[in-house]
Structure 1
């Protein structure tokens, strides 16, 4: 990724990268600098401030109390600086610039490419950088200024302060089962009928996992999780391999699997476009936001349970 502040605040960027990853090597890879160089920079910053900012813990590092304080305030400072730099660059040439678009992993194969293909036809000079994460991480990156717009599925109706949102679609959730499974040819599936089934799910950091937990708790099923995946594509592959069943968004099926509708009106997630609402948007960001609001709903509507 490199230094986004064009060298105006390298020490702050270096420290915040280390704070986010809690790992020197991964932070160095993000910044594109050698690991020893980054280690020396953090040590120099600690010496300049007169307090230790990090301490070793196993193969990683842990922030000290002063380090946590600097990270908390530094995120806001860096976010404001990045917003100012993007505004300056956009003022110089509103037909160019950079937009950072975050999105859920499940939108990578078709939704995001379709959105960007049409956007590129009208704004070919704009660079769109992509970040794919779970909803919670995307919201955090929008708040700290690293992501300008994100397509996410918040599991709460009340977003953090300073976030604007626009609802784009209601995406049904389905039960994905292996071909030949006892439920593969059934009608809508009741989750309480999953007793004894092995379930494949996402890690607790993902909003889809929270929705699945809520649905299964309400159904009082005795099904149990056996595998936690970091992305939907892998979860679908595990179902296709016959390792279990999974609650996933409609359209997640692959060859060797069958999507069954779930007989519960709560089995859906709301897809929203989210951005910082407390600062002006540069022309490229505003244009991409407008494009997504217009073009995304039909794309999501085209994805339906098989």
Structure 2
């Protein structure tokens, strides 16, 4: 049968993105049917294997050819053979169907209760001890659950949460937004970190107002810890004079050790030489740690299990 060019039934000559999207929507439901007919080269046999009425399958193939504007099959009764255009089309269709099947297997695997995956975000300062300890404890009962871990500052994690890139995140301050659900889990005492040779280094406790004349090193303004620092200093009656802004707490400790300022920070995982950490007695210097997730977002079984585990650790998250 000679190759016959048809006029596409649903594709406008502009060929723009909208046209391509429309064509994809037209073709997608028929691709598996096409592959089945092409594999068997027999409409009746393909209909039996795919458990669809033969008449439905025949109409679908005719409509597919009309939409493409080319003949895909040469027909001899109920037996068919691929045209050159059909063979070209089949190669791409089989590749597309294989990718779809691969994607389906991946999402099923990620949702599996025993071996699924949790996309979990957390603050840098919780990465050295807190998060490894949590995952270790959780996997005592869920040894094969996998984790995709993301360390970032609070606002960046909330953006990724909203984008669907994270299932859960540990952050501070605990967010209050209509599209998120957040639960307070624990609080962490903050300390005033000063150089080891500082005039206050011999002290164990300090009122924050006593540091009003000091130069501070802080995290950048979009970090939750920076907002907490600004708020605590304001409550103590002063606005901090800031010399350096950074992105990571341990870098700030290094700046303090070098004598470049003082900082309000959570406790380190490992003591840093060259600095002294003072308990702040007034105002009450703490940061709340909470877990957040997207409101209305359905949980897979492994995410639901890890969320339940985190909520069970209220008051002992940082222990």
Partner SS state of residue 102, structure 1? strand
Please identify the structure whose Cα radius of gyration is greater: 2
2:154 corresponding residue in structure 1: 135
**Would you say the 8 A contact 1:90–1:284 is kept in 2?**
no
1:259 corresponding residue in structure 2: 277
The equivalent position to 1:283 in structure 2, one of 279, 297, 301, is 301
What TM-score, normalized by structure 1, do the two folds share?
0.65
Residues 164 and 112 (structure 1), Cα distance of their counterparts in 2 relative to 1, 3 Å cut: same
User: How far is the alpha carbon of 1:297 from its aligned partner?
Assistant: 3.7
What TM-score, normalized by structure 2, do the two folds share?
0.62
Output the CA distance in 2 between the equivalents of 1:195 and 1:292.
38
Residues 290 and 211 (structure 1), Cα distance of their counterparts in 2 relative to 1, 3 Å cut: same
Q: Does 1:245 align with 2:262?
A: yes
**Would you say the 8 A contact 2:110–2:117 is kept in 1?**
no
Output the CA distance in 1 between the equivalents of 2:185 and 2:111.
32
Runs of 4+ residues over 4 Å off in structure 1: 84-88
Output the CA distance in 1 between the equivalents of 2:178 and 2:151.
22
1:118 corresponding residue in structure 2: 137
Aligned 1:117-266 pairs, distance under 5 A: 117-154=136-173, 159-221=176-238, 223-251=240-268, 253-266=271-284
1:108 corresponding residue in structure 2: 127
User: How far is the alpha carbon of 1:115 from its aligned partner?
Assistant: 0.8
Residues 292 and 85 (structure 1), Cα distance of their counterparts in 2 relative to 1, 3 Å cut: farther
User: How far is the alpha carbon of 1:245 from its aligned partner?
Assistant: 0.8
Task: Write out per-residue CA displacement over residues 194-236 of structure 1, whole angstroms, 9 at most, x where no aligned residue.
Answer: 2432211000110110111112223233641111010111111
Output the CA distance in 2 between the equivalents of 1:128 and 1:91.
10
**Would you say the 8 A contact 1:136–1:154 is kept in 2?**
no
Output the CA distance in 1 between the equivalents of 2:227 and 2:18.
41
2:114 corresponding residue in structure 1: 95
Output the CA distance in 1 between the equivalents of 2:238 and 2:231.
11
User: How far is the alpha carbon of 1:191 from its aligned partner?
Assistant: 2.1
Partner SS state of residue 316, structure 2? helix
Partner SS state of residue 190, structure 2? strand
Runs of 5+ consecutive residues of structure 2 not aligned to the other structure: 1-15, 20-102
Partner SS state of residue 281, structure 2? coil
**Would you say the 8 A contact 1:178–1:184 is kept in 2?**
yes
Runs of 5+ consecutive residues of structure 1 not aligned to the other structure: 1-46, 51-83
Output the CA distance in 2 between the equivalents of 1:168 and 1:217.
26
1:48 corresponding residue in structure 2: 17
User: How far is the alpha carbon of 1:263 from its aligned partner?
Assistant: 2.4
User: How far is the alpha carbon of 1:90 from its aligned partner?
Assistant: 5.6
**Would you say the 8 A contact 2:219–2:245 is kept in 1?**
yes
* Count, aligned residues: 220
Partner SS state of residue 226, structure 1? strand
2:286 corresponding residue in structure 1: 268
1:68 corresponding residue in structure 2: none
Task: Write out per-residue CA displacement over residues 220-262 of structure 1, whole angstroms, 9 at most, x where no aligned residue.
Answer: 3364111101011111121122221100113465122211111
